[in-house]
Amino acid sequence: LRVVRHPENRGIAEAYNTFIDEGRGELIAMLGDDDVSMPDRIARQVAVFDKHPETIVVHGNAMIIDEKGVQRGASPSADMPPAEMLRHLVRVHNTLVDPSRMVHRRTYDLAGRYRAQFTLAQDFDFWLRAMLVGRFRHIGGEPLIKLRRHGDNFSDESNRALEIQQVEMALTELIEKV
């Protein structure tokens, strides 16, 4: 485990790409500064990769906490076959809990890295591209992480218009690709 930080804020996509560059293993798990990983998270995710080596992303549920660490809700996700996952992302909503994911390194070679123009929807853009190259698997049961939500999150409601614009951009690119 290594902590990697930029001296100045270069955006989420650039931070994620730095993790990929600095990571030494085949499996890459990321977590925001203010989120909390559950003690068994890594072991549970590695077990899925071991059991299903064709998997490119393992994700799971999250407990929502506030700035003081008090539980305020849950963010469940689900396991879906590839076609259903893509349909869900495009037609329903992005319910993948981004900080819960562990990604196999080969995924970035196949789907590309995080793109800087997606300052709020970098995860959604990546999911759409990754869905075209491999299988995602969800770990049910207990949450993998505690996801902190508060007014200082960049992804709070005040940036909803920008997020919608970026989601539309990612969807347009997907439609043009397929």
Nearest to 130 by CA among 58, 35, 26, 30: 58
Give the SS3 label for residue 100. helix
Alpha-carbon distance 11 to 27, whole Å?
Answer: 22
DSSP 8-state symbol, 7: S
Is the pTM value of this prediction over 0.95?
no
- pLDDT at 61 exceeding the cut of 60: yes
* pLDDT tens-digit map of 99-143: 999 999 999 999 999 999 999 899 999 999 999 999 999 999 999
* Contact (CB, 8 A) for 86 and 131: yes
Alpha-carbon distance 145 to 147, whole Å?
Answer: 6
The residues that bridge with 71 in the sheet, in sequence order, are 65
